Structure 1
Amino acid sequence: MLPGVGLFGTGQIMNVLVPLLREKGFEIKAIWGRTLKEAQEMAQSQKITFYTNKIDDVLLHKDVGLVFIACQPFLHAEISVKALGIGKHVVCDKPMGLHQIDAMKMVRASQYYPTLISLVSYSLRFLPAFTHMKRYLDEEIIGPIELVDVRVQIGKLFPEKFDWMCDGFMGGGVLNLVGSHIIDLVHYLLRLQAVRVHGIVRSYTLITPNINGIRHISAPDYCNFQMELPNGILVTVSIFTHTVPAKGFTQEVIICGSEGHLAVRGGDLFLFKTKSGLPPQLKEEALYVDVQDLHISTSESLLPRPYIKGYCKMIGALKEAFGAEEASWVKEPVLAAATFEDGLYVQAVLEAIHNSSNLRSWQRVKIKSDTPSNHDQIMRFARMSTM
């Protein structure tokens, strides 16, 4: 039996997430908003009966067994730790928090309650083009990996009204919102973590027609960074929004090996293969073409379609996990999903890129370890949530 879902957040992503969950058979039992008015407006538009601006009202709702967290990042750790402490499964949006300490709290709580789902919604892992790419990489179809190049163009980044996504100190900006997906994707595809990084993060768009006056945008709308992986593999990532909004979103991920390259453009996968002693082929071969259509409207979401399609696949995997016939649910369908430990690694890379941009130098990626005393405090906090 599928658990009832509690939602945290009232952003545009809810206009996509709610229909996706319902399409897969999940029932939305409650929604939380920063203010009661925001919660009420979203509840009415999505036909959700229970709404509130109090976190505990959703977590303690008797029909809620799974929570999706897509609110301000500084609340992610508090909600996740409390939810796990009272036996709720958790799917958290990116970024996991504002700092590594937030991510570490979530990791410790997930380790303390290992039978519960605790995932980060890095949805590109579930996009079919990337699942096929990973299989071909495992088969070494292009030989040893040498270089990864990622280019993302976003026609629109900021919402119509000012919120946390417009504020760099609150976790907004292309690096956190899109770059985190790319960092996790590279880790997923290659099973390697960055050793050091070099990056440039800039804010060019300070106002929009709807966001001006006293409040200005401080979230970065451009970033370019390099990640050095073990074995000398170099990853170059460029993400920017300086395109005509009508052109929309484009994304290209190319992984080059000694015998050719694999490329994902949008949701399609291509192969360019070279053979020793023979002239190179004249064009790429299409290995997978995405023809699946979404049955929901995505016009009101800032989330690009490939990310939404991956989200749909991830929710399908959740349904399969909870629908297991065994007495206790099985995690196997969601083994490909990003864990809180994966999210902690991504958070460490994000911090290193920000530091590199500020110091204008290469920075090593350091995952901070938790002290025993701090760990005990986190566990006490989690246990108190069950009382």
Structure 2
Amino acid sequence: MQKVKIGIIGLGRLGMVHANHLVNLISDADVRAVCALDDDQLAYAKKNFGVSTYKNYKEMIDVEDIDAVVIVSPTGFHPEMTEYALNANKHVFCEKPLGLNMDEVDTMVRQIKMHPKKIFQLGFMRRFDSSYKHAKKIIDDGKIGKIIYIRAYGIDPISGMESFKKFATDNDSGGIFVDMCIHDIDLIRWYTHDDPVQVWALGNDIAAPELKNIGEYETGVAMLKFKSGMIATLLGGRHAAHGNQVEMEIMGSNGWIRIAQEPNKDFLTLFTNEGVVKPSMQSFSERFSEAFIDELRDFVNNVKTGKNSDISVDDGVKALKIAKACKESADQGTLVDIKLS
């Protein structure tokens, strides 16, 4: 296989990021077609990427000569699109999370496992970020001892609130824990090889009370107890005034790791009569640009070589169940036991 021929489903904010990367930066990828519902997005893709355009993903899969499908649609459509692509003999890259309805996800997982010769890769891109990878090596080498506690923040800029409200109104996001904290849940499981057994979670809409009308928490906090006794705190939100705040602190018995304590845009610091200012990154796509590229490059290489992804579908299922347990705890105001089997 010289190049991997790809069709992309979804051209929203992240879909367009993936399309640009696949077309312009990944030499072994050959994007043949895209599918979206928005006419402006399709016109942009046709003009700038030189690809065929579709509004029906099944038609694109049936008609186009492609090897793989990259799914960046709203989460609720992930299961049916993955199943259709696999049954059409295509490899699949699917953005996180696997889905919203667990019955649909269970069917999706069965289909994935019924197609062992087809690569399925889930978009947990933080595993490809250089800082998180460095932390993984430090932990695996035992340099900070046994992990005692992990604290993880993921807070979007408040400037994106209007865009999010439209997205959440048109498409069920799954809530703050499923939509955002799931990345940190995956990282914590990756670092510790451990699973949580209980969660206590809370949520509020103090910074955006209008989200109550669509059943969303603006801020969600979860405290997780793991099998080993380790504790983790997750915080997800959409109210960072300064930009995109994504950070993690890993406390070990013999040392600590702190990742991205400040979301610095670059190495510049501005000193004026108004004080000292460090510009901040304004979006997740900016913060994780290289990680997004590397995960797609990894997927394309896995398709070419027949190598399974290091991120298994079971990782996706467990992360989703944990995130849903966090939401259940916040909704009910109770301690929730987490059942992963």
Q: CA 1:54/1:367 → structure 2, altered by over 3 Å: closer, same or farther?
A: same
Residue aligned with 1:321, SS? helix
State the match for 2:275 in structure 1: none
- For 1:27-176, what aligned pairs fall within 5 Å after superposition? 27-34=30-37, 37=39, 40-44=42-46, 46-156=48-158, 157-158=160-161, 160=163, 163-166=166-169, 170-176=172-178
Which one-letter code corresponds to 2:331 in the other structure?
A: N
* Structure 2 CA distance for aligned equivalents of residues 158 and 172 of structure 1: 16
Q: CA deviation at 1:111?
A: 0.7
- For 1:157-306, what aligned pairs fall within 5 Å after superposition? 157-158=160-161, 160=163, 163-166=166-169, 170-204=172-206, 205=208, 217-244=214-241, 247-265=242-260, 302-306=283-287
* Structure 2 CA distance for aligned equivalents of residues 235 and 104 of structure 1: 27
State the match for 1:359 in structure 2: 332
Asked whether the equivalents of residues 252 and 265 of structure 1 are also in contact (C-alpha less than 8 Å), the reply is yes
Q: CA deviation at 1:155?
A: 1.1
Q: Structure 1, unaligned stretches of length 5 or more?
A: 209-214, 269-289, 292-300, 369-387
Give TM-score scaled by structure 2 length: 0.85
Identical-residue share of aligned pairs (%):
19
State the match for 2:300 in structure 1: 319
Residue aligned with 2:239, SS? coil
Most deviating of 158-167 and 340-349: 158-167
Number of residue pairs matched? Answer: 321
Q: CA deviation at 1:225?
A: 0.5
* Structure 1 CA distance for aligned equivalents of residues 256 and 322 of structure 2: 25
Asked whether the equivalents of residues 199 and 354 of structure 1 are also in contact (C-alpha less than 8 Å), the reply is yes
Residue aligned with 2:89, SS? coil
Q: Structure 2, unaligned stretches of length 5 or more?
A: 268-281
Give TM-score scaled by structure 1 length: 0.75
* Structure 1 CA distance for aligned equivalents of residues 192 and 284 of structure 2: 25
Q: CA 1:98/1:139 → structure 2, altered by over 3 Å: closer, same or farther?
A: same
Instruction: Give the superposed CA RMSD.
Output: 2.7
Q: CA 1:45/1:235 → structure 2, altered by over 3 Å: closer, same or farther?
A: farther
Q: CA 1:102/1:48 → structure 2, altered by over 3 Å: closer, same or farther?
A: farther
1:159-216 C-alpha deviation (Å, 9 max, x unpaired) = 538644346x7125432222111111111111111111111133442559xxxxxx96
* Structure 1 CA distance for aligned equivalents of residues 83 and 123 of structure 2: 17
Residue aligned with 1:361, SS? coil
Which one-letter code corresponds to 2:325 in the other structure?
A: A
Residue aligned with 1:352, SS? helix
State the match for 2:14 in structure 1: 13
Q: CA 1:361/1:312 → structure 2, altered by over 3 Å: closer, same or farther?
A: same
Structure 1 runs (4+) greater than 6 angstroms displaced: none
Residue aligned with 1:241, SS? strand
Q: Does 1:339 align with 2:312?
A: yes
Asked whether the equivalents of residues 103 and 343 of structure 1 are also in contact (C-alpha less than 8 Å), the reply is no
* Structure 2 CA distance for aligned equivalents of residues 196 and 317 of structure 1: 34
1:116-175 C-alpha deviation (Å, 9 max, x unpaired) = 1112101001111111211111111111111111123321444538644346x7125432
